[in-house]
């Protein structure tokens, strides 16, 4: 595996591989890798002749009161894991090269960026879409693998790729969980033992919602109530939002007729955790 830090060097590599007819797969990350990331990496490995993984903790997607400085980092460990997983290039740019003095350009996907997490993290998705467009134009991938754990992010990126005619295939990879159901996340590192246990209320509440739908419940309001009461049982967990929404538009739905996505954000200690599940309103 080769580590590339300079943007120009990354672009030259991609240009050569493209000219040689190679299909480039790309997995963008913020590092501090867990098995969820590594599953995306292994999936990306199968989808391209070449595999690029980036590690970049993107400052523009963190709010002023958020955890940019505290975000966990372990480059040496990540480097070994990516090498073992068959990565060709680890792209590891410096912030000063991604956003030099005088940087002025941002990409924003309207509406979709303002629902759900967007309402609580102003500017977050603007930072995400901006950095991804930059990474896409540096790495020039044919296919990008993103996690469905960040469901809103996945939908926003699909919309952006279509709207900007980026000619990239976007693959959504299912959420990877710990054995007890907790969705893997770099931010789980913030949790102490008690908080780790309280964090199980997220996946538990999603399971509860799934079983209600299986039993025939179709009213979003009742499902939201059930989730809320499950989270409220945990004194260490504080619900930020829970919503049932249309899987494409992310608009809130009152009834689950076709498919709907249940998404929630919960604060546990200093971690802000998100999770989601697909609710299938139609039988069969
Ligand atoms: P991050 O490093 O948090 O920016 O995540 C990098 C990529 O990994 C994103 O596409 C995430 O959606 C994805 N990802 C993170 N956690 C998981 C998980 N538990 N299961 C599946 N994908 C994940």
Tell me if 152 CB under 6 Å of ligand 1: no
Flag whether the pTM goes above 0.85: yes
Over residues 47-67, the mean pLDDT reads: 98
> Above pLDDT 90, what percent of the chain?
99
Tell me if 29 CB under 6 Å of ligand 1: yes
For residue 282, what pLDDT is reported? 83
Tell me if 149 CB under 6 Å of ligand 1: yes
For residue 168, what pLDDT is reported? 98
3-class secondary structure per residue, 96-136:
HHHCCCCCCCCCCCCCCCCCCHHHHCCCHHHHHHHHHHHHH
Q: Is 186-280 a CATH 3.30.1300.10 domain?
A: yes
Over residues 30-57, the mean pLDDT reads: 98
Over residues 45-49, the mean pLDDT reads: 98
Encoded tokens for 211: 């079983």
Residue nearest to atom 7 of ligand 1 (CA): 29
Nearest Cα to 208, choosing from 176, 178, 230?
A: 230
Is residue 21 over pLDDT 80? yes
**d(Cα 40, Cα 176) in Å, to the nearest integer?**
9
Over residues 38-55, the mean pLDDT reads: 98
Is residue 284 over pLDDT 80? no
Distance 36 CA to ligand 1 centre (A): 6
Encoded tokens for 13: 């590599």
* Of 40, 78, 177, 272, best ligand 1 pocket probe by most atoms within 8 Å of the beta carbon: 40
Nearest Cα to 243, choosing from 120, 129, 161?
A: 120
Q: How confident is the model at residue 116 (pLDDT cuts 50, 70, 90)?
A: very high
Distance 40 CA to ligand 1 centre (A): 8
> Above pLDDT 70, what percent of the chain?
99
Nearest Cα to 217, choosing from 143, 161, 283, 172?
A: 283
Q: Give the CA dihedral 27, 30, 36, 38, nearest 10 degrees.
A: 50
* Of 36, 145, 184, best ligand 1 pocket probe by most atoms within 8 Å of the beta carbon: 36
Closest atom, ligand 1, to C-alpha of 37? 8
Distance 173 CA to ligand 1 centre (A): 9
Q: How confident is the model at residue 33 (pLDDT cuts 50, 70, 90)?
A: very high
Contact of 78 with 34, CB cutoff 8 Å: no
For residue 73, what pLDDT is reported? 98
Encoded tokens for 165: 């005619």
For residue 203, what pLDDT is reported? 98
Closest atom, ligand 1, to C-alpha of 146? 10
- 2-173, what's its fold? Rossmann fold (3.40.50)
For residue 75, what pLDDT is reported? 98
Residue nearest to atom 19 of ligand 1 (CA): 184
Domain map (residue ranges) of the chain: 2-173, 186-280
- 199-255 pLDDT, tens digit per residue, is 999 999 999 999 999 999 999 999 999 999 999 999 999 999 999 999 999 999 999
For residue 215, what pLDDT is reported? 96
Per the prediction, the chain carries an average pLDDT of 98
**d(Cα 118, Cα 126) in Å, to the nearest integer?**
9
Give the SS3 label for residue 271.
strand
Catalytic status, residue 37: yes
């Amino acid at each position: 595996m080769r580590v590339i830090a300079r943007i120009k060097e990354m672009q030259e590599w991609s240009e050569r591989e493209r000219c040689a007819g190679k299909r480039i797969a790309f997995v963008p990350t913020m590092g501090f890798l867990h098995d969820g990331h590594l599953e995306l990496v292994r999936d990306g490995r199968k989808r391209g002749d070449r595999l690029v993984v980036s590690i970049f903790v993107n400052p523009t997607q963190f709010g002023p009161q958020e955890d940019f400085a505290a975000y966990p980092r372990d480059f040496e460990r990540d480097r070994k894991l990516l090498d073992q997983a068959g990565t060709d290039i680890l792209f590891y740019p410096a912030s000063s090269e991604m956003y030099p003095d005088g940087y002025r350009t941002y990409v924003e996907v309207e509406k979709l960026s303002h629902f759900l997490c967007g309402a609580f993290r102003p500017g977050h998705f603007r930072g995400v879409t901006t950095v991804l467009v930059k990474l896409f134009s540096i790495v020039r991938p044919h296919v990008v693998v993103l996690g469905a754990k960040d469901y809103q992010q996945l939908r926003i990126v699909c919309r952006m790729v279509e709207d900007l005619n980026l000619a990239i295939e976007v693959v959504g990879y299912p959420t990877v969980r710990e054995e007890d159901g907790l969705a893997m996340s770099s931010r789980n590192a913030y949790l102490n033992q008690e908080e780790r246990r309280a964090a199980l209320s997220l996946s538990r509440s999603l399971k509860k919602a799934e079983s209600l739908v299986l039993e025939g419940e179709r009213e979003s309001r009742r499902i939201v109530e059930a989730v809320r009461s499950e989270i409220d049982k945990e004194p260490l967990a504080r619900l930020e939002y829970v919503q049932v929404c249309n899987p494409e538009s992310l608009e809130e739905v009152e009834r689950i007729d076709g498919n709907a996505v249940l998404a929630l954000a919960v604060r546990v200690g200093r971690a802000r955790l998100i999770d989601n599940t697909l609710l299938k309103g139609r039988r069969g």
